[in-house]
């Protein structure tokens, strides 16, 4: 490499210092984590040297997570939803090239941890069409054929050579190869084995091809799947995986597998990008479909979702925190009793009884939630009563039928001062409930706390996730709102909120003293 000093010059010494090969820790042990982090950091240094500039702060987490998943064999399904021209392809390409060069080399030093890369890193680059896959593959090819990469490959410690054959890039000595393939439904693509599969423009990928043909290519290697793209008008496997990754991130000890970068985040680090997008915003309009999809990362699913992320943010009051106690005016409460894996959720809503709008609708504000998970019902009753004693409860709405009947009967005994309302659960009555909820939200008459500290709480994160997950469907004259039929998706917070809101549609207004709103 001449006189130019690169991270490669120190990599082997630094990684092996104090960790001789014969004492290499067992893969995935607690002692191994520090070594894994060190390996990742050294590969990042190589990536930065190959590209000629460090990864930007918003690029680094995605690169590190891909490397971590490859090393730990956790078979992660990583999603990246980034605005157009934000450096997504560059990040993935740099990470793939750095890993293809370094992992086989490091496998000789740490055979227990990285032994599966002894014959190379195998990468498949897919997109819905062959033309789409060309974008990322060209970026990878350009990085591997660059002068910097050639210097690295010529280093005596690396001593490798790039061989290009149409849709295949191969490092001759270490065995790493990167193959471009299409994810088109009519393509015959079975038969390959990969450690890492990248699906670019995943919003347009065919779910059947992904699940039947592509994902099994990772089975024998416990490989990593990385899906990248931008929003669309319809749901698909990419959207569902994003939602799943967001839900899983709320669980204790789980890794972050979704990485979202909108134009504002990129603009903090790339002034020219801000300048261009600002001009596009003026040309297209901030509320245009094109700008929402390409730069604001908004899925345009209005006809199929109860509330979009954009609408959810609009209904949140960033100055409002949860209210732990309220006795100045009557509140309404909705309870969704737990069924099997679900949680019992109690939602308390303040109502502006004194100022209905011209149609008789009241403003509602969510004051607080109680989430009871994994608790027997005898204990739940008293937790609910204790929680609601902090509020001036006017009425409590509970789904009638099944467990709801039992809960309502018990609370009538424990809380004789409150109206316990049985809400029928047949489709006709559910339609009325959801129609009322949707009317209130469309008029901006449902508001929830969104203070920065509130947004950090587990209850708020679950509330947001379930509200944005809730699917809206029409079956004849009926409206049905429910969680998607996927693992870890629930609608307890959604049902609980709807039960509380419907109480103001069917119950006579209570007498309340005049008071100033605290908001």
Please state, in angstroms and rounded to a whole number, the distance separating the CA atoms of residues 21 and 108: 9
Q: DSSP label at 256? A: P
pLDDT of residue 27: 47
Please state, in angstroms and rounded to a whole number, the distance separating the CA atoms of residues 61 and 82: 13
What is the DSSP pairing of strand 162-165 with strand 168-171?
antiparallel
- The answer, yes or no, to whether residue 452 has pLDDT greater than 60, is yes
* Angle in degrees, 0-180, between the axes of helices 458-469 and 237-249, rounded to the nearest 10: 160
Which residues share a beta bridge with 134? Answer: none
pLDDT of residue 156: 87
- Judge whether 512 lies within some domain: no
Please state, in angstroms and rounded to a whole number, the distance separating the CA atoms of residues 503 and 422: 10
- Judge whether 122 lies within some domain: yes
Contact 182, 133 (CB under 8 A): yes
pLDDT of residue 18: 36
Residues 153 and 254 in one domain: yes
Q: What is the mean pLDDT of the segment spanning 501-519?
A: 67
For residue 297, the SS3 value is coil
Supply the CATH number for residue 200's domain. Answer: 3.40.50.300
Across 216-309, the runs of DSSP E, i.e. the strands, are 224-229, 258-261
pLDDT of residue 132: 86
Residues 402 and 330 in one domain: yes
Q: DSSP label at 486? A: S
Retrieve residue 136's tokens.
């990322």
Q: What is the DSSP string of 341-390?
A: TS-EEEEEEEE-TT---TTS---EEEEEEEEE-S--HHHHHHHHHHHHTT
Residues 284 and 218 in one domain: no
- The answer, yes or no, to whether residue 477 has pLDDT greater than 80, is yes
For residue 39, the SS3 value is helix
pLDDT of residue 81: 96
pLDDT of residue 499: 96
pLDDT of residue 39: 94
* Angle in degrees, 0-180, between the axes of helices 88-109 and 130-144, rounded to the nearest 10: 60
Neighbours of 411 (CB within 10 A): 20
Q: DSSP label at 418? A: S
Please state, in angstroms and rounded to a whole number, the distance separating the CA atoms of residues 329 and 352: 9
pLDDT of residue 212: 86
pLDDT of residue 270: 95
pLDDT in tens, 144-177: 999 998 988 898 888 889 999 889 999 998 999 9
- The answer, yes or no, to whether residue 23 has pLDDT greater than 50, is no
Retrieve residue 82's tokens.
């980034």
pLDDT of residue 457: 95
- Going by C-alpha positions, the residue among 76, 408, 413, 468 that lies closest to residue 239 is 468
Q: What is the mean pLDDT of the segment spanning 300-324?
A: 87
- Judge whether 307 lies within some domain: no
- The answer, yes or no, to whether residue 341 has pLDDT greater than 60, is no
- The answer, yes or no, to whether residue 372 has pLDDT greater than 80, is yes
Tell me which of 397 and 342 has the higher pLDDT: 397
- Judge whether 304 lies within some domain: no
- Judge whether 516 lies within some domain: no
Residues 230 and 322 in one domain: no
Please state, in angstroms and rounded to a whole number, the distance separating the CA atoms of residues 181 and 130: 7
Residues 182 and 119 in one domain: yes
- The answer, yes or no, to whether residue 84 has pLDDT greater than 90, is yes
Residues 322 and 287 in one domain: no
For residue 36, the SS3 value is helix
Residues 144 and 82 in one domain: yes
- The answer, yes or no, to whether residue 268 has pLDDT greater than 60, is yes
- The answer, yes or no, to whether residue 185 has pLDDT greater than 80, is no
| CA distances, 94 to each of 53, 151, 261, 356 (Å) | 11, 16, 18, 58
Q: What is the mean pLDDT of the segment spanning 376-391?
A: 91
- Judge whether 210 lies within some domain: yes
Please state, in angstroms and rounded to a whole number, the distance separating the CA atoms of residues 452 and 456: 7
- The answer, yes or no, to whether residue 17 has pLDDT greater than 80, is no
How much of the chain exceeds pLDDT 90, in percent?
A: 61
Q: What is the mean pLDDT of the segment spanning 445-465?
A: 95
Contact 47, 95 (CB under 8 A): yes
Average pLDDT taken over every residue of the chain: 87
Residues 222 and 278 in one domain: no
Residues 253 and 316 in one domain: no
pLDDT of residue 22: 40
Q: What is the mean pLDDT of the segment spanning 298-320?
A: 86
- The answer, yes or no, to whether residue 455 has pLDDT greater than 80, is yes
Tell me which of 375 and 42 has the higher pLDDT: 42
| CA distances, 14 to each of 2, 71, 154 (Å) | 21, 18, 21
Residues 202 and 88 in one domain: yes
| CA distances, 240 to each of 253, 297, 412, 471, 498 (Å) | 21, 15, 41, 12, 24
Q: What is the mean pLDDT of the segment spanning 115-137?
A: 91
pLDDT of residue 304: 72
Please state, in angstroms and rounded to a whole number, the distance separating the CA atoms of residues 178 and 256: 26
Q: What is the mean pLDDT of the segment spanning 44-49?
A: 93
- The answer, yes or no, to whether residue 29 has pLDDT greater than 60, is no
- The answer, yes or no, to whether residue 263 has pLDDT greater than 70, is yes
- Judge whether 266 lies within some domain: no
pLDDT category at 375 given cuts 50, 70, 90 is confident
pLDDT of residue 487: 64
| Residue 152 φ/ψ, nearest 5 degrees | -65, -45
Q: DSSP label at 305? A: B
Tell me which of 3 and 413 has the higher pLDDT: 413
- The answer, yes or no, to whether residue 220 has pLDDT greater than 50, is yes
Contact 331, 398 (CB under 8 A): no
Residues 281 and 386 in one domain: no
pLDDT of residue 358: 86
Please state, in angstroms and rounded to a whole number, the distance separating the CA atoms of residues 97 and 66: 12
Please state, in angstroms and rounded to a whole number, the distance separating the CA atoms of residues 53 and 405: 64
pLDDT of residue 515: 54
- Judge whether 93 lies within some domain: yes
- The answer, yes or no, to whether residue 402 has pLDDT greater than 80, is no
Residues 349 and 292 in one domain: no
Q: What is the mean pLDDT of the segment spanning 188-194?
A: 81
pLDDT of residue 5: 45
- The answer, yes or no, to whether residue 24 has pLDDT greater than 60, is no
Minimum mean pLDDT range among 1-15, 92-106, 382-396: 1-15
- The answer, yes or no, to whether residue 504 has pLDDT greater than 70, is yes
Overall number of domains in the chain: 3
Which residues form the domain of 434?
Answer: 312-506
Supply the CATH number for residue 350's domain. Answer: 3.30.420.240
């Amino acid at each position: 490499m001449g006189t130019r000093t690169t991270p490669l010059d120190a990599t082997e010494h630094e990684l092996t210092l104090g960790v001789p090969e014969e004492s290499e820790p067992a893969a995935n042990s607690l002692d191994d984590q520090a070594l894994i982090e060190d390996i990742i950091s050294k590969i990042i240094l190589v990536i930065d040297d190959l590209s000629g500039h460090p990864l930007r702060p918003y690029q680094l987490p995605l690169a590190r997570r891909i490397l971590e998943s490859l090393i730990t064999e956790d078979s992660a399904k990583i999603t990246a939803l980034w605005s157009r021209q934000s450096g997504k392809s560059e990040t993935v390409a740099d990470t793939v090239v750095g890993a293809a060069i370094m992992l086989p080399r490091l496998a000789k030093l740490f055979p227990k941890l990285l032994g599966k890369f002894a014959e190379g890193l195998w990468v498949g680059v897919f997109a819905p069409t062959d033309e789409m896959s060309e974008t990322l593959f060209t970026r990878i090819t350009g990085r591997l054929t660059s002068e910097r990469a050639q210097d690295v490959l010529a280093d005596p410690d690396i001593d490798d050579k790039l061989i290009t054959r149409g849709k295949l890039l191969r490092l001759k000595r270490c065995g790493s190869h990167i193959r471009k393939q299409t994810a088109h439904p009519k393509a015959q693509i079975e038969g390959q084995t990969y450690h890492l599969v990248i699906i670019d423009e995943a919003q347009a990928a065919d779910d059947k091809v992904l699940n039947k043909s592509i994902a099994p290519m990772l089975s024998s290697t416990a490989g990593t799947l990385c899906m990248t793209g931008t929003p669309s008008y319809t749901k698909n496997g990419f959207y569902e995986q994003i939602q799943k990754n967001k839900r899983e991130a709320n669980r204790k000890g789980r890794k972050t597998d979704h990485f979202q970068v909108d134009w504002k985040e990129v603009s903090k680090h790339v002034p020219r990008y801000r300048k261009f997008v600002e001009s596009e915003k003026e040309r297209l309009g901030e509320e245009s479909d094109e700008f929402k999809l390409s730069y604001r990362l908004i899925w345009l699913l209005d006809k199929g979702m109860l509330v979009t992320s954009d609408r959810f943010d609009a209904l949140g009051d960033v100055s409002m925190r949860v209210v732990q106690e309220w006795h100045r005016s009557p509140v309404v409460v909705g309870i969704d009793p737990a069924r099997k894996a679900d949680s019992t959720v109690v939602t308390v809503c303040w109502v502006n009884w004194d100022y209905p709008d011209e149609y008789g609708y009241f403003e509602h504000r969510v004051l607080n939630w109680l989430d009871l998970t994994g608790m027997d019902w005898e204990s739940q009753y008293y937790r609910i009563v204790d929680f609601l004693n902090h509020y001036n409860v006017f009425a409590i709405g509970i789904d009638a039928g099944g467990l709801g009947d039992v809960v309502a009967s018990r609370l009538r005994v424990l809380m004789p001062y409150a109206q316990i309302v049985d809400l029928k659960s047949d489709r006709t009555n559910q339609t009325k409930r959801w129609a009322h909820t949707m009317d209130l939200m469309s008029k901006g008459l449902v508001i929830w706390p969104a203070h920065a500290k509130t947004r950090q709480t587990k209850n708020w994160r679950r509330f947001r996730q379930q509200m944005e997950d809730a699917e809206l469907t029409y079956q004849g004259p009926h409206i049905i709102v429910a969680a998607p039929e996927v693992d870890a998706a629930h609608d307890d917070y959604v049902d609980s909120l709807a039960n509380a809101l419907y109480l103001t549609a069917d119950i006579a207004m209570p007498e309340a003293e005049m008071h100033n709103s605290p908001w």
